[in-house]
Amino acid sequence: MNSHSWMDAVVVSLQGTLWDILPILSVIIFFQLAAIRKKIPHLKQLALGFFMVVVGLAIFLVGLEQCIFPVGIEMANQLTDPKFLIGNDLSDTQALSDPAIYFWVYLFAFFIGFSTTLAEPTLIAVALKAREISTGSISAWGLRFAVAFGVAIGVSLGAYRIVTGTPLYVYIVAGYAVLLIQTFFAPKTIISLAYDTGGVTTSTVTVPLVTALGIGLASNVPGRSPLMDGFGLIAFASLFPIIAVLGYAMISEQIAKSKSGH
């Protein structure tokens, strides 16, 4: 790609992020004028910050679209390609129903879910805030690892579900049952944060790659349709991080307890 089309891509992306920030700025300005009726302090610094948010996000998105998405989607397609899975004898469609041949797909699902979650800007933001107000007792990296691990499990389990064809609701109901029990026993201070992380994982970086993987699988496994079975990975990617974060908090609490000798 030449530099000219890079610039074009950044300009298009900038229009998108400007459009995103417009309603936020309007609401803030309206409430400053109508409700708070005070001058905003550090206006110059804030303006610079908003500028960095808009430009940074635009550049980030262009980079994703030029670099990470094409490679990741191409890889999802190659790994779910029947030729890669069962070799050149494509007449044996029975072999494609064997969940064991999708080993590399599950592994890829796990690691791509893990790594894209670590790069989610919204998760970074929430983790920074959590570290700040817990005065360091929650580490930003610890929280992000727990969430990423949850997404990784969720996405690879979701890939396995597409192959076996188990109905989605079986997993969802079981998942929510586990969640309910955890919510009961987990330390009270972590619950709100844990549920918030379920909402931030399905954002900029993870969704396009995971969707490509789901559609690739659903198109190639006999008896699945991309329309009916391709979704569900995203639902898993928002459910399992909550379980993982609650679990992480419960384990940390146990360790702290046993260290203090109780």
Site for another protein in 197-216 (CB under 8 A): 198-200, 202-205, 207
Binding-site member from 35, 39, 136, 259 for another protein (CB under 8 A):
35
Residue list 211-240, contact with another protein (CB under 8 A): 231, 234-235, 238
Is the separation of the CB atoms in 205 and 64 below 8 Å? yes
77-85, 153-161, 216-224, 247-255 -> range binding another protein (CB under 8 A):
77-85
Should residue 95 be labelled a site residue for another protein when binding is judged by CB under 8 A? no
Should residue 112 be labelled a site residue for another protein when binding is judged by CB under 8 A? yes
Rounded Cα distance, 240 and 225, in Å: 24
Rounded Cα distance, 182 and 248, in Å: 11
Structure tokens at 74: 């191409």
Residue list 166-185, contact with another protein (CB under 8 A): 176, 180, 183
Return the number of the residue (32 or 166) whose C-beta is nearest another protein. Answer: 32
- Going by C-alpha positions, the residue among 122, 149, 144 that lies closest to residue 237 is 149
Structure tokens at 192: 């709100």
| CB 259 to another protein: min, Å | 21
Residue list 134-153, contact with another protein (CB under 8 A): 134
Return the number of the residue (122 or 261) whose C-beta is nearest another protein. Answer: 122
- Going by C-alpha positions, the residue among 8, 116, 21 that lies closest to residue 62 is 8
Is the separation of the CB atoms in 159 and 106 below 8 Å? yes
Cβ neighbours of 148 (radius 10 Å)? 24
Return the number of the residue (38 or 259) whose C-beta is nearest another protein. Answer: 38
Rounded Cα distance, 172 and 7, in Å: 44
Should residue 27 be labelled a site residue for another protein when binding is judged by CB under 8 A? yes
Binding-site member from 116, 156, 182, 220 for another protein (CB under 8 A):
116
Should residue 21 be labelled a site residue for another protein when binding is judged by CB under 8 A? yes
21-29, 89-97, 215-223, 248-256 -> range binding another protein (CB under 8 A):
21-29
Rounded Cα distance, 196 and 123, in Å: 9
Should residue 118 be labelled a site residue for another protein when binding is judged by CB under 8 A? yes
Is the separation of the CB atoms in 249 and 194 below 8 Å? yes
Is the separation of the CB atoms in 217 and 162 below 8 Å? yes
Should residue 59 be labelled a site residue for another protein when binding is judged by CB under 8 A? yes
| CB 218 to another protein: min, Å | 14
